């Protein structure tokens, strides 16, 4: 997958809990877990906006583009 | 708003499911009554088998085949509506039942169109006749059209199921 979700990183940086975020956004914890692991086909702008509001960040802080060949090499931007 | 629509669809599906089951049962019962009851039976409720010059056994066989296909189609429709009632209108099972409904409906229409002339031809050949008069009912031929449309609807349901799957995996 070329798009990597960095929600877990932002949650750790903000020291926020998944349960609180899920409650604030209005989605289930299982859906949030799927989003964190990148096992979803898309994110609604509404969901993205609520996450950014809760974490005080930009969409770009949550999503990153990693070319497939880099991901296969185990590299990435970090 | 959406929950009201779903409740309305569920209620309609429940009524239609009961109607479909009743229709399937009535289809079999009336045909069985017509086939089994003696032609000169005098009772309050009677069903008559129209033979159109065919031997009674052949006409009964055709009627039973058409009734079985029609009842099967209605039963499949009822099962599909049961899935709609359970809140799974685009599930694989619902679409499978709908496709079977369309198939059996097409089969019933095809049997109604094809079997009587074929039986008439067979009867004429058996009796050594060289000329035979065949009659086709336009209404029966027209009944093939809805069946074809239902197959198209089944394809559309496949697409709807794909879209629902997409929607479910978007958070």
Q: Kindly report the CATH number assigned to the domain that includes residue A58.
A: 1.10.260.40
A69 falls within a domain: yes
- pLDDT for position B1: 57
Cβ neighbours of residue B38 closer than 8 Å, sequence gap 6 or more: none
> Is the complex ipTM higher than 0.95?
no
Closest chain B residue to the Cα of A36, Cα to Cα: B171
In Å, what is the CA distance from A26 to each residue of A20, A33, A36, A43? 10, 13, 15, 13
Report CB contact under 8 Å: B166, A43: no
- Distance separating alpha carbons of residues A60 and B113, to the nearest angstrom: 65
Nearest to B118 by CA among B161, B62, B56, B156: B62
**Number of folded domains that form chain A:** 1
* A56 Cα to chain B: minimum distance (Å): 20
Residue range B126-167, pLDDT digits in tens: 887 777 777 777 777 788 888 889 989 988 998 998 888 888
Closest chain B residue to the Cα of A27, Cα to Cα: B171
* B171 Cα to chain A: minimum distance (Å): 5
Cβ neighbours of residue A76 closer than 8 Å, sequence gap 6 or more: A4, A66, A70
Selected for mutation to probe chain B from A7, A41, A45 (highest B CB count within 10 Å) is A41
- State which residues form the domain around B103: 2-168
- Distance separating alpha carbons of residues A14 and B139, to the nearest angstrom: 71
Q: Does A27 touch chain B (CB under 8 A)?
A: yes
Q: Does B131 touch chain A (CB under 8 A)?
A: no
Residue A51 reports pLDDT greater than 80: yes
B99, two tokens: 């496709």
- Chain B positions in Cβ-Cβ contact with residue A44 (cut-off 8 Å): 170-171
B152, two tokens: 């198209």
Q: Do residues B149 and B106 lie in contact, with contact meaning Cβ atoms separated by under 8 Å?
A: no
- Distance separating alpha carbons of residues B76 and B98, to the nearest angstrom: 7
- pLDDT for position A71: 62
Residue range B2-53, pLDDT digits in tens: 677 888 889 999 999 999 999 999 999 999 888 887 666 566 666 777 777 7
Q: Does B1 touch chain A (CB under 8 A)?
A: no
What three-state secondary structure class fits B78? Answer: helix
- Count Cβ atoms within 10 A of the Cβ of residue A15 and give its class: 0-12 exposed, 13-18 middle, 19 or more buried: exposed
* Cβ atoms < 10 Å from Cβ of B158: 15
Tell me what the mean pLDDT of segment B93-111 comes to. Answer: 93
- State which residues form the domain around A58: 3-73
A7 falls within a domain: yes
Radius of gyration of chain A (CA): 13
- Chain A positions in Cβ-Cβ contact with residue B170 (cut-off 8 Å): 40-44
* A35 Cα to chain B: minimum distance (Å): 7
A78 falls within a domain: no
* CB-facing half-sphere around the CA of A39: CA atoms within 13 A: 6
**Number of folded domains that form chain B:** 1
């Amino acid at each position: 997958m070329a798009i990597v979700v960095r929600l877990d990183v932002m949650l750790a940086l903000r020291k926020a809990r998944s349960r609180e975020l899920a409650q604030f956004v209005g989605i289930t914890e299982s859906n949030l877990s799927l989003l964190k692991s990148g096992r979803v086909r898309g994110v609604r702008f509404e969901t993205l906006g609520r996450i950014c509001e809760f974490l005080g960040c930009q969409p770009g802080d949550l999503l990153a583009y990693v070319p497939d060949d880099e991901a296969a090499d185990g590299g990435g931007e970090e | 708003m959406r929950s009201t629509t779903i409740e309305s669809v569920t209620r309609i599906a429940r009524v239609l499911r009961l109607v479909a089951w009743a229709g399937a049962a009535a289809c079999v019962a009336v045909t069985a009554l017509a086939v089994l009851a003696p032609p000169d039976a005098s009772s309050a409720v009677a069903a008559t088998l129209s033979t159109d010059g065919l031997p009674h056994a052949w006409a009964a066989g055709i009627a039973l085949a058409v009734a079985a296909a029609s009842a099967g189609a209605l039963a499949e429709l009822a099962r599909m509506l049961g899935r709609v009632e359970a809140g799974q209108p685009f599930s694989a099972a619902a679409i499978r039942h709908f496709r079977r409904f369309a198939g059996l409906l097409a089969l019933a229409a095809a049997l109604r169109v094809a079997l009587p002339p074929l039986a008439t031809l067979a009867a004429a050949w058996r009796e050594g006749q060289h000329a035979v008069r065949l009659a086709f009912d336009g209404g029966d031929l027209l009944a093939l059209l809805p069946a074809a449309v239902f197959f198209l609807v089944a394809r559309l349901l496949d697409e709807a199921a794909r879209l629902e799957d997409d929607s479910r995996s978007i958070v």
